[in-house]
Amino acid sequence: MGALHEQTAALDAAVHMPTYARKPVMFVRGSGMRLYDDDGREYLDFVAGVGCVNLGHAHPAVTAALAEQAAKLVQVSNLYFAEHRDELAETLVELLGGGRKVFPCNSGAEACEGAIKLARKWGKETRGEHCFKIVTAERSFHGRTLAALAATGQPSKQAAFEPLPPGFVHVPLNDIDALAAVVDHQTCAVMLEPVQGEGGVYQCDPEYLAAVRCLCDEREVLLVLDEVQTGFWRTGPAFAQERYGVSSDISCLAKGMANGLPIGAVVARSPVADVFKPGDHGSTFAGGPVICAAARATIAALQSERLGENAEATGGYLAAGLIALAESTGAIAEVRGAGLMLAAELIQPNAAAVAAAALARGLVVNNIGERVLRFLPPLVCGVGECDTLLEVLSELLTAEVS
Ligand SMILES: Cc1ncc(COP(=O)(O)O)c(C=O)c1O
């Protein structure tokens, strides 16, 4: 442990609410796939700030956009027009196929809250006061604020904070009959992650998501796709809904949008979006010129560097490597995910120990609970870095099972 890390760890314990059990490392610098700790030691980053730093650390185009706008004007609020806000929204709408409008926000939870409020208002205005129920999936994750937490299908995260806002129903993922049984005249929306992230990286089956879209159309219910983790080329295309050929009525975006800076957006089809009127929703910081300049630079670089194609190709390579590792070590029960959003479910409940041992070997890897190792590297990740990961994991998993 470096001196800076030691000092910071003591202060951290004294002054922060203990909502995170931090890992024993302090990163002070990054470049592309690489992170450096306060002792100057290099690490390969397979977490990317939990799926945010899609361009890689310290991308010069983002740094330049930030510095330029920060030197000019930082904050005016949403009461006034501002540079970069509309151009960013225009790009998001184009990426989602047009005919939509944007509400800018600051995080994934806020994007989900905004989507929930919009869906409820749409339900009440078009179908009546009773129409506010939202159906989501078991194991889903939509954020930590109260309504997003109520939408989240993980009772262990909810219990301490009950009573939660009413009107949320959870059904098993990939079971269209279970969904059809609960979507009724009180339902305004179905809300799903195309690939569940925090729940352990479980994909919607293509036939399921297509059937969900049909069901929503038949019963005049909105389809909300939470693309907070899957968005911005993480799974290959700009948004995972493209993979499925399914188009949402409302999309929730965040994480990769400004390469690690706090931002989010609710993007809704125009007739739905127009339900929000002045005063219905808001945010002091969202849509500010600095964050929007950073997001525009991020999206432009993700496109010009064709990182979606790399996510698809390198993700395929890593997935194949993990499947081979499952055979050679006998320690992996299942490999799941799409693009560079992958997980290996371990047979033994030792994912935290494996992640800790990987960190000691210079690899930053995330565990979800005791069974799942998750891989969300920057989308600049190449096959060489995957080979390093696979070699180290092979040694660790062989040692763990022997
Ligand atoms: C799918 C999904 N929705 C919402 C959130 C919440 O985002 P945030 O932590 O930015 O509030 C997350 C965070 O991991 C997520 O993966």
The 10s digit of each residue's pLDDT in 165-190 is 999 999 999 999 999 999 999 999 99
Is the CB of residue 21 less than 8 Å from the CB of residue 350? no
> For strand 366-368 and strand 372-375, is the pairing parallel, antiparallel, or unpaired?
antiparallel
Active-site residue, from 46, 255, 276, 375: 255
Q: Tell which atom from ligand 1 comes closest to the C-alpha of 196.
A: 1
Q: Tell which atom from ligand 1 comes closest to the C-alpha of 140.
A: 1
What CATH architecture is 61-304?
3-Layer(aba) Sandwich (3.40)
The label of the residue with tokens 């989240």 reads: 152
What does the DSSP assignment read for 62-75? HHHHHHHHHHH---
Going from N- to C-terminal start, the domains of the chain cover: 3-55+306-401, 61-304
Does domain 3-55+306-401 correspond to CATH entry 3.90.1150.10? yes
By most ligand atoms within 8 Å of CB, the mutation choice from 140, 228, 266 for ligand 1 is 228
Same fold: 3-55+306-401 with 61-304:
no
Altogether, the residues listed in the chain come to a count of: 402
What are the angstrom distances between the C-alpha of 147 and each of 124, 343, 374? Answer: 17, 28, 26
What does the DSSP assignment read for 162-179? PSPPS-EEEE-TT-HHHH
Does the pLDDT value for residue 351 go beyond 70? yes
Instruction: Please write the tens of the pLDDT for every residue from 199-242.
Output: 999 999 999 999 999 999 999 999 999 999 999 999 999 999 99
- CB of 193 within 6 A of ligand 1: the answer is yes
Rounded Cα distance, 59 and 53, in Å: 9
Instruction: Please write the tens of the pLDDT for every residue from 57-111.
Output: 999 999 999 999 999 999 999 999 999 999 999 999 999 999 999 999 999 999 9
Cα-Cα-Cα-Cα dihedral sign, residues 391, 397, 399, 402: negative
Q: Tell which atom from ligand 1 comes closest to the C-alpha of 144.
A: 11
Name residue 322's amino acid: L
Is the CB of residue 31 less than 8 Å from the CB of residue 56? yes
Q: Tell which atom from ligand 1 comes closest to the C-alpha of 252.
A: 3
Active-site residue, from 226, 239, 276, 375: 226
> What is the pTM for the complete model shown?
0.98
Active-site residue, from 141, 232, 239, 375: 141
Cα 184 to ligand 1 centre (Å): 27
Query: Which tokens sit at 332?
Result: 């992996």
User: Is 226 an active-site residue?
Assistant: yes
Cα 298 to ligand 1 centre (Å): 19
By most ligand atoms within 8 Å of CB, the mutation choice from 154, 203, 255, 376 for ligand 1 is 255
Rounded Cα distance, 77 and 284, in Å: 6
